[in-house]
Amino acid sequence: MPVLVETDSGVVPSLLRAMPAGSHAVAAADRMYVWLDQHSDEYVVALGPSLPLDLALSYAEDLRIAKPTVSVVLLRNSFDTEALTRSMHAGVRDVVATDDEKGLTKAVERAHQLYLALRGPGGARQMGRVVTVFSPKGGVGKTTTSVNLALALADKGARKVCLVDLDLAFGDVSITMQLFPTHSIEQAVGSEDSIDLAMIEGLLTRHEDSLTVLAAPAHPDVRERVTPLLISRILRALRDGFDYIVVDTSPSFDDATLTALDETDECVVVATLDVPTLKNVKVALETMDMLNIARGHRHLFLNRADAEVGIGVDKVENILGMPVTAQLQSAMDVVASTNSGTPIVTALPNHPASRAYNQLAASVTGEPIAVPAFVPDTVDATARSRGLFRRGRS
Ligand SMILES: Nc1ncnc2c1ncn2[C@@H]1O[C@H](COP(=O)(O)OP(=O)(O)OP(=O)(O)O)[C@@H](O)[C@H]1O
Ligand SMILES: [Mg+2]
């Protein structure tokens, strides 16, 4: 998730708007270095116009050697040939005018392409990433989010995605997707020592070419026999064959959820705008802090975020101490698409709900969003200007 170094908070929103969902700003270079140390998959740093040129170039010079897969994009209010030449020598990948939003978007995309070329399919295959969708509350939309997020990540076959239903007692991914699995995780019970990708592949149910599902057991009592060791071995085996493993969970910190969270690279936290849910999500986030789970890799998804309930996005962000990555109002189209067996991301790709799921997917991958960000008409002007509906940081 790209990072912008800029001290002037006045220019930060417009610069972040030109960068992918999930990008964030820091006011000092030392925080940028901390971020890079914690995120070995980072691919770009944008150095803002307030940084003096000499200082910016010294960072670029340093990163060129220390982090060769991280591109540096330099933003300047104005620049001349000498500044361009010095930037090139320092290893700056692109110099972009501060007001050139399109230029910045393109520069970040180029940085991402370069990163993929350096680290991606041409070299050793990247291990798949585990994305756990979690909420301590039931019925908030975890399964709906998991299914649509998995489809958005699959991006019509661009990525290989496996959706794992770890709500072992009452999993409803299959029914949500109108799948009729012949196998489930139940057939892996007892195979802790022999799990590999080929074996798991035999248990998967195909939804469409881009998405496969590891279904939950048909009967709740099987849950007792699915051990944490089995779950972690399954998730590790799936990393070998899939780009993303999306995990739907039950609404509690049970053994299965904790094991998934232990393995997780990215955690999507689903919340709704009611006090009990927010209280429980807050406690869950504090627990995750204590257990050191997915720090810096959390994405807050606000579901059923309807204007009339009396709690605004600002308040949620204050209570939870993290920004909202994407949000979605209550929408009958979401339910109708689910009921028809074609989740909304596939059924209505331009629907605001689909855009919210795509925005969430972009935050999870840290890649540029696949469809243009969308600001619903009902969003108030303050939220619009703060860009709350465009990006999130964690
Ligand atoms: N944005 C939305 N607008 C309208 N309905 C929604 C929305 N999101 C989810 N729903 C509906 O709410 C219900 C609960 O959603 P879902 O099953 O995804 O929640 P869950 O958190 O997985 O529940 P559980 O804790 O029982 O597993 C479903 O009927 C779903 O279609
Ligand atoms: Mg569910």
Residue nearest to atom 31 of ligand 1 (CA): 335
Q: Residue 223: its pLDDT value, please? A: 93
Chain-centroid distance of CA 185 in Å reads: 25
Q: Are residues 172 and 258 in the same domain?
A: yes
- On whether both 200 and 134 belong to a single domain, the answer is yes
List the CATH number of the domain containing 88.
Answer: 3.40.50.2300
Identify whether 332 is part of a domain.
yes
In terms of domains, do 375 and 310 share one? yes
Residue with tokens 């780009």: 243
Domain-located, residue 105: yes
Domains identified in the chain, total number: 2
83 Cα: distance to centroid of ligand 1 (angstroms): 54
Q: Say yes or no: 100 and 135 in one domain.
A: no
Q: Is 368 found in the same domain as 337?
A: yes
Indicate the helix (H) or strand (E) that contains 44: strand 44-47
Same domain assignment for residues 238 and 333 = yes
Neighbours of 236 (CB within 10 A): 17
Protein residue with least CA distance to atom 1, ligand 1: 330
Residues 174 and 52 in one domain: no
Do residue 247 and residue 364 come from a single domain?
yes
Buried b or exposed e, range 72-94, using 16+ CB within 10 angstroms: bbbbbeebeeebeeebeebbbbb
Domain match, 143 and 59 both: no
| Pocket flag, ligand 1, residue 29 (CB < 6 Å) | no
Residues 148 and 94 occupy one common structural domain: no
Whether the CB-CB separation of 71 and 44 falls below 8 Å is answered with yes
* CATH number for position 283: 3.40.50.300
Q: Is residue 344 part of a domain?
A: yes
Q: What per-residue confidence (pLDDT) applies to 95? A: 96
Do residues 386 and 13 make contact, with C-beta atoms less than 8 angstroms apart?
yes
Domain finish residue from 93, 119, 145: 119
Residue from 132, 143, 337 whose mutation best tests the ligand 1 pocket (most atoms within 8 A of CB): 143
Q: Which pLDDT score is estimated for 389?
A: 31
State whether the beta carbon of 217 lies less than 6 angstroms from ligand 1.
no
28 and 144 share one domain: no
Q: What is the pLDDT of residue 209?
A: 64
Model pLDDT, residue 388: 30
Question: Phi/psi of residue 334, each to 5°?
Answer: -65, -45
Residue that finishes a domain, picked among 79, 94, 119: 119
Structure confidence at residue 390 (pLDDT): 33
> Does residue 336 have its Cβ closer than 6 Å to ligand 1?
no
The per-residue pLDDT for 39 is 80
Looking at the DSSP assignment, which residues form a beta bridge with residue 165?
248
165 CB less than 6 Å from ligand 1? no
Q: Is residue 392 part of a domain?
A: no
Select from 78, 101, 119 the last residue of a domain. Answer: 119
With respect to residue 391, please indicate whether it lies within any of the assigned structural domains. no
Q: Give the distance (Å) from ligand 1 centre to CA of residue 340.
A: 15
Q: Which residues of the chain have pLDDT under 70?
A: 119-126, 209, 368-394
Residue 248 lies in a domain: yes
Domain housing 98:
3-119
Residue 263 lies in a domain: yes
| CB neighbour list of residue 376: distance below 8 Å, 6 or more residues apart | 329, 352, 389
| Per-residue pLDDT, 384 | 33
Which residue, judged by its Cα, is nearest atom 14 of ligand 1? Answer: 139
pLDDT of 385 reads 33
User: Does any domain span residue 211?
Assistant: yes
Nearest ligand (C-alpha, residue 165):
2
pLDDT at 255: 93
Distance of alpha carbon 296 from the chain centroid = 11
* Residue-level pLDDT at 120: 56
Q: Are residues 104 and 182 in the same domain?
A: no
